[in-house]
Chains A and B, each alone.
Chain A
Amino acid sequence: MTSILYRLSLRFVLTIVGLIFLGSTPALFKGTSLNLKGYWGSIESVLKQLIHFNHVTFTEYNAMKQNHYLLLPRLFNVGSFSIEIFILSFFLAFLIALLLTYITVLLPPIVIKIIKFILFLLESLPDLLVISIFQLFVIWVYTKTHILIVNIVAYGEHKVILLPVLVLTLLPTIMLYRLMILDFEEEENQNYVELAKGKGIGMSIIFLRHILRNAMIHIFIDSKYVLWFMLSNLLIVEVVFNIDGLLHFIRMHPFPIIISAGLIMMFIPIFIILAIGNIIIEKVVGHKVEV
C-alpha cells in the first residue's frame, strides 16, 4: 500500500508542476517570437502567488472602472458549480452506460453489432452540434406548444442546470457505452467465461460476478480519456449556455496565476476520482495498474 500512495503523491505533485508550466503559456510568446525569459519569470511569479494565495487579487473592468477583487472566494464560487455539474455528469454517464451495457450483452450478437455501429456514428458528432440540436429542439417545442421545457441560456439570476448536465452527460455516455461494450466483448472471449457457460451459469450472473470485475480495469483506464474529453465539453457548455463557471472564468481572465490556479482546481477532483479508482482496482486485482 505504501507503494501506491507514494506513486499517487508523486503523480499529484508532478502533474501540478506540469499544470503551472501550462498555465504560463500566454507568456511564452511575445508577438510571434519565443520569450523564454518572460515565461520563466511568469512561472516564478505564479509560484510566489500560489504560496500567498489568499492575498491574490484580480482586476475586472466594470463600466470603464477598474475594480480589484480577491481571487480566492471568487474562484471557489465559480469552481464549485463547474465541478459539481462535471462530477454529476460523469457519474450519471458512467452508471447509465454500465446499465445499458448490462442490457446489451444479453442481446443477440447481430443486435450488438448494430448498436455498436450506431454508437460509432454518434461518437463522431462534434459536441457543438449536439448542443445546437438540443437548443433548437427546446426552441421548436416552445414555438409549437408555448411550453419552455428548460432555460436555454443563463441570464441575470436565472441559472441553467438541467440542459448543461444533460448535454454534458450525453456524449460521455455514448463514449463510455461503446468502450464498455468493446471491453466486455474482449473479456467474453476469455476461457473463464467459456468455462462458466459450460457449467450452465446464466449470462447475467456471469456478467455481474465475473466479467464486470475483470473488465473494470480497462474501463477505468478508458475513463481517464473520457474525463479529459469532458473537460473541453464543459468549456463549450459553459460558453454556449453563458454559465458563470470555472473554465468560462479562466477564459475571461487570461492571467497566468488564474489559469494555473483554475486548472489545478479542476484537476484535484478528477485526480481524487482516479486515485480512489486506482486504489480500489489494485486491491481487487492484486497487481500494479498505471493510469
Chain B
Amino acid sequence: MVIKGLLRQPLFIIGFLFILILITTSIIYSLLYHGHVPQYAILTEKGKYMGSPPFKPSVIPPFGTDKNGYNMFDMIIKGAKYTIGMAILVAILRTVLATIIGVFYGSFLRKIHNVATKLFDAFNYVPIILILMFMLYPILMMDGQSEHYKYHLITRLGFEVGALVLLSLPTLALKIGNETMLILEKEFITSSKVIGAGRLYILKKHVFPHLLPKLWVQFVQNIIQVLFILVHMGLFNLFVGGTHAVFTGTGTELKSSSGEWAGLIGENYKLLSLTPWVPMEPLIMFALTIWAFNFIVEGIKKAIDHPYMKIKENIPKENQMTEKKSKSLASFEFLNKKPSSRNLVQSK
C-alpha cells in the first residue's frame, strides 16, 4: 500500500533512484578496482611538458585531479558509499532507539515531562558540531609523530556512530514521546481502555500504527541532518573512520582513512582559492545527495497525506477548537463557489 503510494510520487522516485545509482556504482567500483584510484603524474605530449598536478577539470575530465594527481571523479565515486552509508546507519540507530525511548517515555513518564523538555531544551541552544568535536577529536585523530592510531578502526567507527546517535537522542526521543502522548489522549484510546485493552496492547495496536508514517519522515530527515553534520566535520578535519596524518615534505597532510567525501573537503578547503574545483566538487555532491533525500521526504509526506493513505490525523489540542468551528461553518457554502476567490478580489 505504502510503496504503491510512493511510486506515484515523482519526487520520491527521482531522489530514490539518484541515491540507489550512486551507491551501486560506488560498490561496483570498489569490487572492480579494489579501491584503487588512478593517479596522474606529470603530463607530457610528444615529449613536451604539459603540466603537473593539480589538473583542472578541463584537462582531466570530468572532475580534474587534486594536488597529488588523484582523479577526483574516482575518489567521489569511491567515497559515496561510506558517506551515505554512514548517514543511513546513524539515522537508523537514531530513529529506532529514539522510538523505543520516546514511546516508553510518552506512555509511562508523563510526570517528568515538564522538567525534561526544559532540561533537554539546552540542546536547542548549542551547535551540536561543537560538542561532537570535543568528543571525537581525541579518538579520531592519528598521532602525528608515530603515525599510528590510538584505537582500532572498529572502535573509532563505533565511537563516532555512538556519539552521532547519542547527541541527537534526547531531542528526538522527546519529539516522539510528545507524539505518543498526543495519540494517547485520543478518544479511541479511552474507548479501547474501557473495553479492557492493556497498555502494551494499546501501544501495539493503536499508538504504533499512527506513529509509523511520522517515523519514516523522521528517519529520512535524520539522514539529511547527519549529512549536514558530516560536511561540518569535514571542515574540522574529523573524518569518518579516522583522520590520517601523513608527513610530507611541506608539512602534515590530513586524509580520511576511508576516503569519504568529508575527507575530500577537509584536506582541500584551505586551497579553495587556488584549486576551487577540488573542495567544491564534494560539497556539490553533498548538496545533490541532500536534495535527493529531501525529495524522498517530500514524496513520503505527499504519499502519507494522500486521501487513500490517511489514517486519523493527530491534530494538536489548540487546533481542535478551530477545527470544530470550521466544520460547523463549512456546512454553509455558496453553490457556485469558485475554487480560487483570490483572483476575483484582485481583479476588482
**A283 neighbours in B (Cβ, 8 Å):** none
Q: Which residues of B contact A224 (CB under 8 A)?
A: 124
A281 at the interface (CB under 8 A from B): no
Complex interface: stretch among B20-28, B67-75, B112-120, B179-187:
B112-120
Give the secondary structure class of B's interface: helix
Contacts of B346 in A (CB 8 A): 106, 203
Report the minimal beta-carbon distance from A256 to chain B, rounded to whole angstroms: 9
Q: How far is the CB of B299 from chain A (nearest CB, A)?
A: 13
Q: CA of A144 to CA of B298 in the docked complex: distance in angstroms?
A: 42
Q: What 0/1 pattern do residues 311 to 348 of B give for CB contact below 8 A with A?
A: 00000001000100110011000000000111111101
Are A194 and B345 in contact, with the CB atoms below 8 A?
Answer: no
State A16–B126 Cα separation when bound (angstroms): 11
Give the distance to chain A from B86, nearest Cβ to Cβ, in Å.
16
Q: Is B272 an interface residue (CB 8 A)?
A: yes
By the criterion CB–CB under 8 Å, are B287 and A19 in contact?
A: no
* Beta-carbon contact of B290 and A126 below 8 Å: yes
List residues of chain B with CB within 8 A of the CB of A266.
Answer: 125
Chain B residues within an 8 Å CB radius of A271: 125
Q: Is A41 positioned at the interface, with any CB of B under 8 Å from its CB?
A: no
CB of B135 within 8 Å of the partner chain: yes
A129-B284 contact in complex given A32-B151, A203-B346, C-beta closer than 8 Å: yes
B121 close to A18 (CB less than 8 A): yes
| Inter-subunit contact A128/B235 (CB<8 Å) | yes
Closest to A264 in B: B125
Whether B131 is near chain A, meaning CB under 8 Å from some CB there, is yes
Flag if B232 contacts A236 (CB, 8 Å).
yes
Main secondary structure of the interface of A (DSSP, over half): helix
Say whether, besides A132-B272, A239-B235, A26 and B134 are in contact (CB < 8 Å). yes
**Residues of A close to B150: CB separation below 8 A:** 31
Identify the interface centre among B123, B125, B135: most chain A CB within 10 Å of its CB: B125
Tell me if B283 is interfacial: C-beta within 8 Å of chain A. Answer: yes
With A25-B134, A120-B294, A126-B290: A19-B283 Cβ-Cβ less than 8 Å: no
- B242: chain A residues at CB < 8 Å are none
A18 in contact with B231 given A124-B291, A251-B130 (CB within 8 Å): no
Query: Are the CB atoms of A194 and B159 closer together than 8 Å?
Result: no
- Tell me the bound Cα distance from A41 to B341 in angstroms: 66
The residues of B that contact A32 with a CB separation of less than 8 Å are: 139, 151, 155, 159
Measured in the bound complex, the distance between the Cα atoms of B298 and A228 in whole Å is: 23
Of the 9-residue stretches A7-15, A73-81, A95-103, which lies at the interface with chain B? Answer: A7-15
Could you list which residues of chain A lie within 8 angstroms of chain B, going by C-beta atoms? 10-11, 14-19, 21-22, 25-26, 28-29, 31-32, 106, 108-109, 120-121, 124-126, 128-129, 132, 135-136, 139, 190-191, 194, 197-198, 200-203, 224-225, 228, 231-232, 234-236, 239-240, 247, 250-251, 254, 259, 263, 266-267, 270-271, 287
Interface residues, chain B, CB within 8 Å of chain A?
115, 118-131, 133-135, 137-139, 150-151, 155, 159, 224, 227-228, 231-232, 234-236, 265, 269, 272-273, 276, 279-280, 283-284, 286-287, 290-291, 294, 298, 318, 322, 325-326, 329-330, 340-346, 348
Query: Can you spell out 15 A-B residue pairs with CB atoms less than 8 angstroms apart?
Result: A11-B118, A14-B119, A18-B119, A22-B126, A25-B134, A32-B139, A126-B290, A129-B280, A135-B273, A136-B280, A191-B325, A191-B326, A191-B329, A200-B345, A235-B129
